[in-house]
């Protein structure tokens, strides 16, 4: 029996159990007064006194779009702090400040303001209606927490001179907090205690661990807060104290970005203006994808392409996972093609393309150290992340919760030469005919790592995934051109939404897991993620056929922006029965018919950062019933989906918000809003509704090939009497503009269109 090289301390670092922010046995240094103030370089500095008679500094900067940067530190702010995930082209503006005996009033853009009370310390944020939306002045209470139940701002003493900064705000009775990226539990984060420290959770998504957490929250009070840190961050939202929420970071500096809008959409728009938006999505990415953990050779790959053709299945993209790599080691990627299993590289891709199918290749950033020429080159040029351990030349990555890959290293993307080398390796794949890149792993940077830029493992663990995805995305953009590249990623963090694609990770085949992954997608969408989907059918185990599950997962999966079957074993629909195959074909064709609508939503995401997949709370923010629903969702602003998330369930209750709603399928049956209905949903049907007074552009026949889009006709479906609006999108680079004014639709299009009034 082989003895494991993994210790409990190593696993504790990887799992990163949530730390309580406030405990009886900890020491706190709490801000209690403002003792001085000055301005420098369009930045306001405020010196705070702490209960320990020490000092710390609040640093406030305003940007031209109204975003506020608030920093808190006891030390000089580090100039080399990693900020690549943020756009640095936002212009600082001078902020007017009025000083009285009792407070500092900081005037912000759009008539918002911050008032900081001197003694006792209190920070209050007002919106343009002079309403308080944020306040730190929390109730007094326990003596052991410096006389607070929840201290407002300060530092938690951990050991010796190590201090973790925290901040707390009041949580209003009718306030709902959303966000935190891809978290599988609770769409509404009130009552949640969690941390953001991303990891491969090894197909266990029913707890705190996640691939793509983001330390960003958005409130129905029309503000959002980004806790900008690559370290572990901790959030306690309405728990253990019900009327407050707190956040803490494991680094010695606290940095927040505050976004204020007129609604949650505006908040997300400002967040993505700082952290990035997509520039475009290739049409085929909205198509139908097939994937399997292992197509072991060319014969297995083309067997499924042949099966798709034989069953007249509308397949658009197929993915080769790790077996395309020569001498493939467990969970590493050396970019050496496996010609023994798949034959000539260019010939393979040419043959795939001859079937009007695009090819996606799997990669990851972990590198096997062996005797190959590629390995020697990487070692000689110091392209691997270093280790602080004396007996190791390079750090070893984690895979999953408890697997430490000895004999493998991690490409150091902070080394410009390694970054360029990695991009060149991806470009080589593209030059030979690969169309899309699937970026797996990247969440396993170990504690002992030391990056080329000087950062340690603990502070760079989550930024590592960002740099990995950035390299892959830049390679596709540089090769194909702007808007043409597509990277499909499993990891994620601040800013990775601009690298286009994200799937929810390794789902277990169960109805409970299906709902958890939907919640994760809705939660992640509030961080501006646009192209999201799941492993349709569930990733593991190898093959399990729970009644109804495959069909219900298919129906949901075909009503998400990204639609892909994937699993350890076969997930291709022809292996599940005739009924499953026919239902899969039906919804695949519906998905493809909606391409123009998805492209319309994509254009909105490019312009505003607002996602395609939306929780009801984003579209119906003032409806408190809709705001609490986590098992219905919107695609754009006009289509509502109500998936079936339980076995042997053939009707369900559905809440329809204000307005009138129309059955998606017959386009006749109407329902009045602000009501709950019990809707029949036999196994062949997933309930879907169109909001009346909408325009839904579609392709009449979804059974098309993407290389023949120019010959398709678009139906401009006009439901009811829409308000005046202007819709823009591109299909196959051809521009379509729909102007609806005074009850009439006018279309300017480089593709054939027909107006259909319903």
Helix (H) or strand (E) holding 737, with range, is strand 734-741
Q: Encode pLDDT of 36-88 as tens digits.
A: 999 999 999 999 999 999 999 999 999 999 999 999 999 889 887 888 889 87
Task: Give residue 342's pLDDT.
Answer: 98
Q: Is 283-365+416-576's fold the same as 612-692's?
A: no
Task: Give residue 3's pLDDT.
Answer: 42
Residue 209 has pLDDT above 90, yes or no: no
In Å, how far are 165, 184, 487, 612 from 498, measured between CA atoms? 29, 22, 10, 14
Mean pLDDT of 187-195: 96
Helix (H) or strand (E) holding 12, with range, is helix 8-15
Mean pLDDT of 598-617: 98
Handedness of CA 377, 381, 386, 389 (dihedral sign): positive
Residue 18 has pLDDT above 80, yes or no: no
User: Which pLDDT band holds residue 6 (cuts at 50, 70, 90)?
Assistant: low
Superfamily classification of domain 12-175+220-275 = glycosyl hydrolase (family 31) (2.60.40.1760)
User: Which pLDDT band holds residue 10 (cuts at 50, 70, 90)?
Assistant: low
Task: Give residue 389's pLDDT.
Answer: 87
Q: Tell me the C-alpha distance between 141 and 205, whole Å.
A: 37
Mean pLDDT of 466-488: 95
In Å, how far are 67, 111, 386, 402, 678 from 90, measured between CA atoms? 9, 20, 34, 41, 49
Q: How many CB atoms lie within 10 A of CB 331?
A: 20
Specify the pTM.
0.96
Residue range 283-365+416-576 in CATH 3.20.20.210: no
Residue spans per domain, the chain: 12-175+220-275, 283-365+416-576, 612-692
Mean pLDDT of 425-437: 98
User: Which pLDDT band holds residue 1 (cuts at 50, 70, 90)?
Assistant: very low
Fold of domain 612-692: Immunoglobulin-like (2.60.40)
Task: Give residue 11's pLDDT.
Answer: 65
Residue 516: closest CA among 178, 188, 186, 176: 186
Average pLDDT, the chain: 94
Task: Give residue 202's pLDDT.
Answer: 75
Q: Tell me the C-alpha distance between 548 and 684, whole Å.
A: 10
Residue 491 has pLDDT above 90, yes or no: yes
Mean pLDDT of 690-715: 95
Task: Give residue 67's pLDDT.
Answer: 97
Residue 514 vs residue 84, higher pLDDT: 514
Among 10-24, 376-390, 570-584, the minimum mean pLDDT is found in 10-24
Q: Can you read off the two tokens belonging to residue 712?
A: 């398709």
Q: Encode 535-571: b = buried (16+ Cβ within 10 Å), e = exposed.
A: bbbbbbeeeeeeebbbbbbbbbbbbbbbbbbbbbebb
Q: Encode pLDDT of 519-559 as tens digits.
A: 999 999 999 999 999 999 999 987 767 789 999 999 999 99
Handedness of CA 743, 744, 749, 752 (dihedral sign): positive
Q: Can you read off the two tokens belonging to residue 661?
A: 């709603």
**Are the beta carbons of 292 and 321 closer than 8 angstroms?**
yes
**Are the beta carbons of 449 and 457 closer than 8 angstroms?**
yes
Residue 422 has pLDDT above 90, yes or no: yes
Radius of gyration of the CA atoms of the chain, in A: 26
Mean pLDDT of 193-206: 84
Handedness of CA 291, 295, 299, 300 (dihedral sign): negative
Q: Encode pLDDT of 112-167 as tens digits.
A: 999 999 999 999 999 999 999 999 977 777 777 888 889 999 999 988 778 999 99
Task: Give residue 2's pLDDT.
Answer: 37
Task: Give residue 670's pLDDT.
Answer: 98
Query: What percentage of the chain exceeds 90 in pLDDT?
Result: 84
Q: Summarize the chain as % helix, strand, coil (round to 5).
A: 25, 30, 45
Q: Tell me the C-alpha distance between 285 and 319, whole Å.
A: 12
Q: Encode pLDDT of 305-354 as tens digits.
A: 999 999 999 999 999 999 999 977 668 999 999 999 999 999 999 999 99
Residue 15 vs residue 742, higher pLDDT: 742
């Amino acid at each position: 029996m082989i003895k494991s090289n993994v210790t409990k301390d190593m696993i504790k670092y990887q799992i990163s159990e949530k730390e309580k922010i406030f405990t009886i046995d900890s020491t706190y240094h709490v801000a209690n007064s403002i003792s001085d103030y000055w301005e420098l370089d369009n930045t306001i500095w405020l010196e705070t006194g702490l209960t320990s008679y020490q000092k710390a500094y609040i640093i406030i900067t305003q940007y031209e779009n109204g975003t506020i940067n608030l920093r808190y530190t006891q030390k000089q702010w580090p100039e080399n702090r990693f900020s690549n995930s943020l756009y640095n082209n936002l212009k600082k503006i001078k902020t007017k400040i009025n000083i009285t005996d009792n407070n500092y009033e900081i005037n912000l853009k759009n008539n918002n303001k911050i008032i900081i009370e001197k003694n006792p310390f209190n920070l209050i944020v007002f919106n343009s209606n002079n309403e308080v939306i944020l306040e730190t002045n929390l109730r007094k209470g326990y003596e052991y927490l410096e006389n607070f139940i929840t201290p407002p701002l300060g530092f938690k003493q951990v050991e010796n001179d190590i201090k973790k900064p925290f901040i707390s705000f009041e949580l209003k009775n009718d306030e709902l907090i959303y966000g935190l990226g891809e978290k599988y539990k609770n769409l509404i984060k009130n009552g949640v205690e969690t941390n953001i420290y991303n990891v491969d959770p090894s197909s266990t998504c029913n707890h705190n661990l996640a691939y793509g957490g983001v330390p960003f929250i958005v409130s129905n009070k029309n503000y959002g807060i980004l806790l900008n840190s690559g370290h572990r961050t901790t959030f306690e939202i309405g728990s253990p104290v019900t009327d407050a929420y707190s956040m803490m970071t494991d680094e010695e500096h606290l940095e927040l970005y505050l976004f204020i809008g007129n609604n949650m959409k505006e908040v997300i728009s400002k967040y993505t203006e700082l952290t990035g938006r997509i520039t475009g999505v290739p049409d085929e990415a909205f198509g139908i994808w097939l994937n399997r953990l292992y197509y072991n050779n060319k014969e297995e790959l083309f067997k499924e392409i042949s099966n798709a053709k034989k069953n007249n299945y509308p397949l658009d993209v197929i993915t080769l996972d790790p077996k395309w790599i020569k001498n493939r080691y467990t969970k590493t990627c050396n970019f050496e093609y496996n010609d023994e299993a798949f034959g000539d590289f260019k010939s393979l891709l040419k043959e795939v393309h001859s079937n009007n199918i695009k090819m996606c290749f799997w990669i990851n950033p972990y590198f096997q150290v062996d005797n190959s020429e590629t390995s020697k080159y990487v070692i000689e040029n110091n392209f691997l992340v270093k280790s602080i351990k004396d007996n190791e030349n390079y750090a070893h990555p984690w895979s999953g919760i408890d697997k430490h890959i000895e004999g493998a290293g991690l490409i150091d993307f902070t080394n410009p030469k390694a970054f360029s080398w990695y991009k060149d390796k991806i470009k080589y794949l593209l030059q030979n005919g690969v169309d899309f890149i699937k970026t797996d792993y990247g969440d396993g940077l170990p504690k002992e790592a030391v990056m080329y830029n000087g950062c340690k493992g603990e502070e760079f663990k989550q930024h590592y995934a960002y740099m990995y995805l950035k390299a892959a995305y830049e390679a596709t953009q540089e090769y194909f051109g702007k808007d043409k590249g597509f990277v499909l990623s499993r990891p994620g963090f601040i800013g990775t939404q601009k690298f286009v694609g994200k799937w929810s990770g390794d789902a277990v085949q169960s109805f409970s897991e299906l709902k958890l992954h939907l919640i994760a997608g809705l939660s992640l969408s509030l961080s501006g993620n646009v192209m999201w989907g799941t492993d349709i059918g569930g990733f593991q185990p190898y093959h399990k056929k729970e009644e109804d599950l495959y069909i219900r997962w298919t129906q949901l999966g075909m009503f998400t922006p990204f639609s892909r079957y994937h699993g350890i074993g076969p997930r291709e629909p022809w292996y599940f029965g005739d009924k499953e195959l026919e239902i899969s074909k039906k919804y695949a064709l519906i998905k493809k018919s909606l391409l123009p609508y998805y492209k319309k939503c994509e254009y909105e995401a490019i312009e505003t950062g607002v996602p395609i997949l939306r929780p009801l709370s984003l579209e119906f923010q003032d409806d408190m019933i809709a705001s609490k629903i986590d098992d219905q969702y919107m695609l754009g602003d006009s289509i509502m989906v109500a998936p079936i998330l339980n076995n042997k369930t053939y009707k369900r209750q559905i809440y329809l918000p204000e307005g009138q709603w129309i059955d998606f399928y017959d386009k006749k049956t109407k329902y009045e809003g602000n009501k709950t209905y019990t809707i029949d949903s036999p196994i062949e049907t997933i309930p879907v509704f169109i909001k009346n007074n909408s325009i839904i552009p579609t392709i009449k026949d979804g059974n098309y090939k993407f290389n023949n889009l120019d010959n398709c006709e678009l139906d401009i479906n006009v439901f009811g009497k829409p308000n005046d609006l202007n819709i823009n999108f591109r299909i196959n680079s051809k521009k379509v503009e729909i102007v609806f004014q005074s009850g009439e639709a006018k279309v300017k299009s480089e593709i054939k269109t027909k107006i259909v009034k319903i």
